């Protein structure tokens, strides 16, 4: 069923967005949304460098081209992550500071916002599917009972994916609040 595939993709997109939210530990996926101006082209950071975590508080970025270090540092500095870089000429290091209580609460609100956007995406998919079912009923391709059953199935599937999204949110919030 392509409806389930669409909903799964929407859920996975929300999961990827959650991965960009900082927790107290270093995680290379924090930098997934960083775009670097590289020779006039907007390029994802992970296409320009190897990103590793040598320990739980450090992210290390080793550019393939050492000439791109300044632009990589600038892209990280201008992002909304609030991270500071250190450059030793070969690699860029980012020390992940411990989160304050206030910052943790802000990040939980951000996670909730992303979850709500994910739910809106799921509801849009549901709406489109139900509209299609109603159109088929109107055109005479589906009986009223069959249409009703199909709409119920779509709603149950939507409820299932929203419950999964809620679990993802709860997991992310517990990661953020964990000291």
Residue 59 pairs in a beta bridge with 94
> Can you tell me the distance from the alpha carbon of 13 to that of 5, in angstroms, rounded to the nearest whole number?
12
Q: What CATH number does residue 36 fall under? A: 3.30.1360.40
One DSSP character per residue, 4-55 reads HHHHHHHHHHHHHHHHTS--SS--GGGGTT-EEEETTEEEEHHHHEEEEEEE
Residue 60 DSSP SS3: strand
Q: Which residue has the higher pLDDT, 77 or 112?
A: 112
Q: What percent of the chain has pLDDT over 70?
A: 98
Q: What is the pLDDT of residue 40?
A: 86
* Structural domain count, the chain: 2
> Can you tell me the distance from the alpha carbon of 88 to that of 62, in angstroms, rounded to the nearest whole number?
11
Same domain, 79 and 125: no
Among the candidates 45, 63, 95, a domain finishes at 95
Q: Domain limits at 66?
A: 25-95
Q: Exposure pattern of 83-114 as b/e (b: 16+ CB <10 Å)?
A: bebeeeeebbebebeebeeeebeebbebbeeb
- 7-47: pLDDT as tens digits: 999 999 999 888 878 777 778 888 888 888 888 889 898 88
Q: What percent of the chain has pLDDT over 90?
A: 37
Same domain, 104 and 155: yes
- 82-123: pLDDT as tens digits: 778 888 888 889 888 777 888 888 889 999 999 999 999 999
Same domain, 114 and 87: no
Same domain, 30 and 9: no
Among the candidates 95, 122, 140, a domain finishes at 95
């Amino acid at each position: 069923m392509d409806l389930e595939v669409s909903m799964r993709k929407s859920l996975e997109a929300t999961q990827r967005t959650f991965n960009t939210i900082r927790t107290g530990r270093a995680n290379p996926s924090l930098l997934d949304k960083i775009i670097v101006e590289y020779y006039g082209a907007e390029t994802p950071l992970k296409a320009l460098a190897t990103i590793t975590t040598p320990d739980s508080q450090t992210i290390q970025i080793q550019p393939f081209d050492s000439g791109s270090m300044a632009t990589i540092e600038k892209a990280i500095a201008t992002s909304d992550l609030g991270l500071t870089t250190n450059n030793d000429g070969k690699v860029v290091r980012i020390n992940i500071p411990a989160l304050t209580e206030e910052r943790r609460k802000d990040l939980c609100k951000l996670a909730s916002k992303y979850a709500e956007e994910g739910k809106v995406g799921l509801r849009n998919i549901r709406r489109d599917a139900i509209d299609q079912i109603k159109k088929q009923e109107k055109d005479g391709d589906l009986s009223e009972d069959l249409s009703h059953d199909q709409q119920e199935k779509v709603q149950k599937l939507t409820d299932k994916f929203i419950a999964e999204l809620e679990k993802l949110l709860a997991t992310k919030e517990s990661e953020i609040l964990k000291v």
